[in-house]
């Protein structure tokens, strides 16, 4: 993985930078000990590791602003970090960069039930937002599987999703306002507590910006009233095609379930062995479909969806009769990633999105690729959104297996684009999919996206090496031709 080359001038002034940073963030907030820096060397994409030059853990907006202003003046790169659970390497440090950890920003600042809004610092975990309002019967809808650990700042930066985003939208649909700090230290406020801010949708632009445009220091999220009733259906199918067909039938009938997840045989077996959720072991594909709302509506939809499932060829069907049973149905899905970790030394979690009706063809072609690469693949995914999470099983101790897994993963993502989908659903581009951006976007598209980056960070100091396959200097945008990640002028330095 080619990253921006470390700048000798920056490395040479490391000691002076540490002193200057300690003047801004006193006490233990500046880390320069090589052993302690190891704690930050990777995020959830553990195949790539690089300790930062220095880590800084500020606890006030003024400190964030002063740290960024200092780095801006000194020409030092900065990588923002929340909990470090990103699966695309977005929080991977740079050898000559400052890692800016937002973990100390962990307070819920205000709960405003009247506006159904909660103001939180970016280091608050996703689950803690719901925790803060649960007693009053409210919750925060986007629910990534990592919600116990990942932060709201990271969720905004990645536009994270989860099981319930099919009905309630991704992070971008559940954020009302932000405070952010630009690379030069300027503090900005975007949006507020109202649903429709005037002007350009800059909150939308920041959501999914992967730490490249600014550092988020406060987030105002929408909260929703807990539904009166929730029930889940566990539906087994003889093959993935009929399960995929069933998903299309349900959506086509005008029903948007609260969640609709699919697991294939490998994932079902691994999850059942791990948590004993009561999954059928004689099926090739399993759908977990959740309905929520008024009790009468939920009960009606359970019957209606049951009929659609049978028409699509379901061979087993159970509807939860109480809360404990509903939670048991979900327990296997929620534990699917660690469960797969028990049947393989390593796995590589992919994230691509396809039009729903392409599910059967994509699953068939992935099975053929699995044979060709000689690597097993377990599928666990948000079927309702067409957001795939193939888990490629490999053993990093076997020479060449990681590289084979990466090639296999890249081929899956190219397939997603080929059938009309996109490279990522919710895990971001980071370093993982950076070099595949040319598969999806033209040179013109990428240049225009980078002009947006230039408007926020003209020197390209914030999280460089992520998202864009080639980072032009802002002044030369449009002059270098790039196709499929390859430039016609290789002598012009990348990044």
Residues that bind ligand FAD (CB under 6 A): 43-44, 79-87, 90-91, 102, 122, 144-146, 150-151, 153-155, 157-158, 160-162, 210-211, 215-216, 337, 426-427, 463
Minimum CB distance to ligand FAD, residue 145 (Å): 4
Whose Cβ is closer to ligand FAD: residue 10's or residue 146's? Answer: 146
Q: Give the nearest distance from C-beta 252 to ligand FAD in angstroms.
A: 25
- Among residues 331, 369, 372, 374, which one has the least CA distance to residue 352? 369
Please identify, using beta-carbon distances, which residue of 55 and 102 lies nearer to ligand FAD.
Answer: 102
DSSP class of 383: G
Distance, in Å, from the CA atom of 2 to the CA atom of 75, rounded to the nearest integer, reads 21
Question: Which CB sits closer to ligand FAD, 10 or 145?
Answer: 145
**C-beta of 100: minimal distance to ligand FAD in Å?**
8
| Smallest separation, CB 463 to ligand FAD (Å) | 5
In whole angstroms, the minimum distance from the beta carbon of 206 to ligand FAD comes to: 8
CA 410 to CA 362: how far, in whole Å?
A: 14
Q: What gap in Å lies between CA 79 and CA 394, rounded to an integer?
A: 29
Instruction: Find where tokens 């002044």 sit.
Output: 475
Residues, the chain, total? 495
Q: What is the nearest approach in angstroms of ligand FAD to the Cβ of residue 338?
A: 7
d(CA 17, CA 7) in angstroms, rounded, equals 14
Which phi and psi angles does 430 have, rounded to 5°? 55, -135
CB of 86 to ligand FAD, least distance (A): 3
Question: Alpha helices, DSSP H only, in 186-322?
Answer: 202-206, 240-252, 265-275, 295-311
State how far the Cα of 52 lies from the Cα of 376, in Å rounded to an integer. 34
Closer Cβ to ligand FAD, 85 or 130, answer by number = 85
Pick from 115, 119, 293: nearest CA to 195: 115
Q: Are strands 316-319 and 97-101 parallel, antiparallel or unpaired?
A: unpaired
- Rounded to a whole number of angstroms, the minimum distance from the CB of residue 411 to ligand FAD is 22
Of residues 309 and 461, the one with the C-beta less far from ligand FAD? 461
The first and second tokens of residue 423, run together, are 């490279």
Q: Dig out the tokens for 348 from the structure.
A: 């590589």
The residue nearest ligand FAD at its CB is 154
Residue closer to ligand FAD, measured from CB, 153 or 386:
153
CB atoms within 10 A of CB 367: 13
Neighbours of 485 (CB within 10 A): 13
Q: Which two tokens stand for residue 42?
A: 């990777």
Closest to 259 measured CA to CA, from 326, 340, 355: 326
Shortest distance (Å) from residue 69 CB to ligand FAD? 16
Judge contact between 438 and 219, C-beta under 8 A.
no
For ligand FAD, the closer of residues 341 and 360 by Cβ is 341
Q: Which of residues 124 and 314 has its CB atom nearest to ligand FAD in the complex?
A: 124
Burial of 23 (0-12, 13-18, 19+ CB in 10 A): exposed
Q: Based on CB atoms, which residue is closest to ligand FAD, 82 or 421? A: 82
- Quick check: 365 and 387 in contact, CB under 8 A? no
Q: Which is nearer to ligand FAD, 373 or 381 (CB)?
A: 381
Q: How far apart are CA 32 and CA 199, in angstroms?
A: 42
- Give me the least distance between CB of 397 and ligand FAD, in Å please: 21
């Amino acid at each position: 993985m080619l990253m921006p080359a470390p700048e000798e001038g920056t490395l040479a002034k490391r000691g002076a930078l540490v002193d200057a940073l300690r003047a801004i963030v006193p006490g233990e907030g500046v880390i320069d000990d090589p052993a302690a820096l190891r704690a930050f060397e990777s995020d959830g994409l553990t195949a790539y590791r690089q300790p930062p030059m220095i880590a800084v853990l500020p606890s006030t907006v003024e400190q964030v602003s002063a740290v960024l202003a200092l780095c801006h003046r000194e020409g030092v790169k900065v990588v923002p970090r929340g909990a470090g659970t990103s699966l695309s390497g977005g929080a991977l440090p740079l050898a000559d960069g400052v890692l800016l950890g937002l973990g100390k920003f962990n307070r819920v600042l205000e709960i405003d039930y009247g506006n159904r809004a909660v103001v939180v610092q970016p280091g608050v975990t996703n689950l803690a937002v719901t925790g803060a309002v649960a007693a009053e019967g409210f919750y925060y809808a986007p629910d990534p599987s990592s919600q116990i650990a990942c932060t709201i700042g990271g969720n905004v930066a990645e536009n994270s999703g989860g099981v319930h985003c099919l009905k309630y939208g991704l992070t971008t649909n559940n954020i009302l306002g932000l405070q952010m700090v630009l690379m030069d230290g300027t503090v900005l406020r975007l949006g507020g507590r109202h649903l429709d801010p005037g002007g350009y949708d800059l909150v939308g632009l920041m959501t999914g910006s992967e730490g490249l445009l600014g550092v988020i220091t406060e987030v105002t999220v929408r909260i929703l009233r807990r539904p009166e009733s929730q029930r889940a259906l566990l539906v087994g199918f003889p093959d993935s095609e009929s399960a995929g067909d069933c998903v299309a039938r349900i959506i086509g009938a005008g029903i948007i379930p609260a969640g609709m997840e699919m697991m294939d045989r490998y994932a079902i077996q691994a999850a059942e062995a791990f948590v004993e959720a009561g999954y059928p072991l004689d099926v090739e594909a399993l759908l977990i479909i959740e309905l929520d709302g008024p009790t009468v509506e939920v009960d009606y939809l359970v019957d209606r969806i049951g009929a659609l499932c049978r028409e699509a060829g379901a061979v087993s069907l159970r509807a939860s009769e109480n809360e404990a049973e509903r939670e048991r149905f979900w327990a296997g899905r929620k534990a699917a990633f660690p469960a797969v970790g028990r049947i393989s030394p390593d796995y590589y979690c992919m994230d691509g999105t396809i039009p729903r009706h392409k599910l059967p063809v994509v699953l068939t072609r992935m099975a053929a690729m699995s044979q060709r690469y000689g690597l097993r693949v377990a599928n666990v995914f948000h079927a309702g959104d067409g957001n795939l999470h193939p888990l490629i099983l490999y053993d990093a101790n076997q020479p060449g297996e990681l590289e084979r897994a990466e090639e296999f993963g890249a081929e899956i993502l190219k397939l997603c684009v080929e059938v009309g989908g996109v490279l990522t659903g919710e895990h971001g581009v980071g370093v993982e999919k950076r070099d595949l951006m040319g598969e999806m976007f033209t040179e013109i598209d990428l240049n225009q996206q980078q002009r947006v980056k230039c408007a926020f960070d003209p020197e390209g100091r914030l999280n460089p090496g992520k998202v864009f396959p080639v980072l032009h200097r802002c002044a030369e945008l449009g002059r270098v031709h790039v196709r499929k990640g390859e430039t016609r002028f290789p002598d012009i330095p990348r990044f």
